[in-house]
A = this chain, B = another copy of it.
């Protein structure tokens, strides 16, 4: 259903940014060769490769598909992915990685959504033992499911660790824009530490478009075939590419992300003065995780849309989007305050 009030349920409850719709309409006139042999795809691919310092860019339909495609290029089915137990890959993709890649996920307990060399090292014990799956890739999200961001130093440490252990790194960048905006860095700064990553358009104001960036030449050769076999080849690809052209123009991606992040910070700051509400994780992107008494949660959900993240611990997730306004945040804060009455 549509939500009469601004949704804090997810950044994908928002519609598309007007510039995205204009770009789609702008790509419409005339014929274009299908499956990516069109000028919009050529342009977006080139721009993305330039911005990321990438060797290749492959458009796909959604975030789960980006994760499966990126990881599939690095793995044989007996090789495993090390990732956070709370990762989208593990929790929210209905076992797509296991089914489509055939690989096991080796879970490590996240701290504030993040994993570290120490945590990864703890699951590398069975290497060389044919009874065990062989860890081969590390998957992290940037920003994480907890809304936190790996610092550049943390990424460098992960990168050095992984290189020293012959592990490849893939980044789920469904909210990469929010991370780059928070860290104040370039997309290339995030990309240089890893082997492949996704860059999400959908949660950043697109109608629906994600892209997988490959940072190594040796991952390129089979990407086209894997994408097709994984059901991700768009025939009228110009309409995916055009969305990225819009996001890259005048750094729309960053402006959208900065705004969403600012709204989350505004919300978090407003919570500071509200008794009975505690932040669960540092607010480093467009997500605010907080604990709240169960009856207040119920009351607030009568009028507002958001997710209860952890039923047992009364954790809620409130997300902002590119189109969340200060008015929306203040109205929501007032409503939260009101639940204490």
Most buried by B among A27, A62, A235: A235
What is the bound-complex CA distance between A64 and B229, given in angstroms?
Answer: 9
Interface residue from B3, B33, B225 paired with A31 (Cβ < 8 Å): B3
* A100 contacts B by Cβ under 8 Å: yes
Residues of B within 8 A of A299 (CB): none
Residues of B within 8 A of A222 (CB): 76, 78
What is the bound-complex CA distance between A80 and B97, given in angstroms?
Answer: 13
Copy number of this protein in the oligomer? 4
* A160 contacts B by Cβ under 8 Å: no
Interface residue from B6, B14, B231, B239 paired with A65 (Cβ < 8 Å): B231
Is B236's CB under 8 angstroms from A15's CB?
yes
Residues of B within 8 A of A80 (CB): 95
Interface residue from B91, B104, B125 paired with A95 (Cβ < 8 Å): B104
- Which stretch of A48-56, A129-137, A148-156, A187-195 is in the interface? A129-137
Residues of B within 8 A of A3 (CB): 30-33
Residues of B within 8 A of A39 (CB): 1-2
What is the bound-complex CA distance between A61 and B103, given in angstroms?
Answer: 23
* A2 CB to nearest chain B CB (Å): 5
* A291 contacts B by Cβ under 8 Å: no
* A172 CB to nearest chain B CB (Å): 14
Is B30's CB under 8 angstroms from A2's CB?
yes
Is B236's CB under 8 angstroms from A12's CB?
yes
Chain B's closest residue to A328 (CB) is: B31
User: Within residues 46 to 84 of chain A, which ones have a CB less than 8 A from any CB in chain B?
Assistant: 61-65, 68, 76-78, 80
Is A13's CB under 8 angstroms from B32's CB?
yes
Residues of B within 8 A of A325 (CB): none
Chain A positions 3 through 25: 1 when the CB is less than 8 Å from some CB of chain B, otherwise 0 = 10011011011111000010011
Residues of B within 8 A of A103 (CB): 95, 98-99
Residues of B within 8 A of A131 (CB): 35, 91-94, 228, 233
* A266 contacts B by Cβ under 8 Å: no
What is the bound-complex CA distance between A34 and B63, given in angstroms?
Answer: 14
Residues of B within 8 A of A94 (CB): 78, 130-133, 225, 228-229
User: Within residues 262 to 281 of chain A, which ones have a CB less than 8 A from any CB in chain B?
Assistant: none
What are 19 pairs between A and B in contact, CB < 8 Å?
A: A3-B31, A3-B32, A15-B28, A16-B236, A16-B239, A21-B28, A68-B231, A91-B131, A91-B132, A95-B229, A96-B229, A98-B102, A99-B100, A99-B229, A100-B229, A130-B224, A131-B233, A208-B234, A208-B239
Given A6-B31, A10-B34, A33-B305: 13 more A-B contacts, CB < 8 Å: A1-B38, A14-B31, A15-B30, A21-B25, A61-B232, A62-B233, A78-B222, A78-B225, A98-B102, A102-B102, A130-B233, A131-B233, A203-B235
